[in-house]
């Protein structure tokens, strides 16, 4: 996903002067995790009044980073400015895609369907995992 992450539909989510991540980020994350969809994001500046607002830009980046992190993707950004080129991001993303592996495991079934958090670890030093925070598990 290439975006500035700003929620223009809701016109900014201000409450007492603070900006919050769009609730649509949580919905998108849940659907992506339920369907096994990994979302990688690249930030680029948008247009219009909201795109020049530091708080909206930062909030948009935070939402994109949250979406990527929760679905097992990577989020790329260079401060609040647009990158000169997407090439370094795309090269890094290609390296990630070239080193993907499928991990299968047996989840504990619950009484009702929902997300179960997952934590991966290894005994091998220097290994970094990039995976979704949770998996969808159907009820018994």
pTM (two decimals) = 0.81
Contact 134, 109 (CB under 8 A): no
pLDDT in tens, the chain (140 residues): 999 988 877 755 555 455 577 788 989 998 998 888 999 999 998 888 888 888 888 889 999 999 999 999 999 998 888 888 899 999 999 999 998 888 888 887 778 888 888 888 889 999 888 888 888 888 87
What was the pLDDT predicted at 65? 94
How far, in Å, are 75, 82, 87, 94, 134 from residue 91 at the CA level?
Answer: 13, 17, 6, 5, 27
Domain boundaries in the chain? 2-100
């Amino acid at each position: 996903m290439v975006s500035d992450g700003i929620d223009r539909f809701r016109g900014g989510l201000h409450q007492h002067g603070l900006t919050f991540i769009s609730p649509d980020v949580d919905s998108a994350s849940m659907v992506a995790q339920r369907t096994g969809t990994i979302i990688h994001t690249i930030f680029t500046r948008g247009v219009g009044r909201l795109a020049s607002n530091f708080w909206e830009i930062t909030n948009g980046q935070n939402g994109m980073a949250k979406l990527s992190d929760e679905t097992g993707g990577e989020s790329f950004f260079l401060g609040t400015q647009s990158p000169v080129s997407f090439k370094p991001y795309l090269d890094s993303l290609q390296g990630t895609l070239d080193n993907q592996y499928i991990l299968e495991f047996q989840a504990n079934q619950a009484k009702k369907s929902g997300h179960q958090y997952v934590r991966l670890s290894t005994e091998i030093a220097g290994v970094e995992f990039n995976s979704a925070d949770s998996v969808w598990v159907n009820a018994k």
